[in-house]
Amino acid sequence: MPFYRLKTGIVHMRGTNLPKPCAARVQIDGSEQVCGAWSAFLCDGRAEGRSTCDAPLCEAHARQIGPDRHLCPPCHLQHRDADPQRGLFTSLV
């Protein structure tokens, strides 16, 4: 049973087939916390050791990169940086 961060505060939802809370990191009152908003998307980014990142994302944090393709903020940064400078990342593996 997940917790969501809604406008009213942290809410504990009961039920099945609920979307996961958004996994993006946000700054709240000067400390880093998970967003926790109701998620509408899953990250399609590549992840080490898994096929996709699959981070749940709310509408505010999903970065659309194509039809039905979304990235979480960290994957979007990598995606943006990796394209013009692919060599930087392959040398780290």
CA neighbor of 43 nearest in space, from 1, 84, 78: 78
Nearer to Zn ion, 4 or 72 (CB): 72
- Inter-residue contact 37 to 28 (CB < 8 Å): no
Question: Min. distance of Cβ 46 from Zn ion in angstroms?
Answer: 8
Nearer to Zn ion, 59 or 86 (CB): 59
Nearer to Zn ion, 6 or 88 (CB): 6
Q: Which residues bind Zn ion (CB under 5 A)?
A: 22, 24, 35, 37, 43, 45, 53, 55, 58, 61, 72, 75
Question: Min. distance of Cβ 14 from Zn ion in angstroms?
Answer: 21
Rg of the chain on CA atoms, in Å: 15
Q: What does the chain come to in residues?
A: 93
Category of 9 on φ-ψ map: left (φ > 0), alpha (ψ -120 to 50) or beta: left
Question: Min. distance of Cβ 82 from Zn ion in angstroms?
Answer: 13
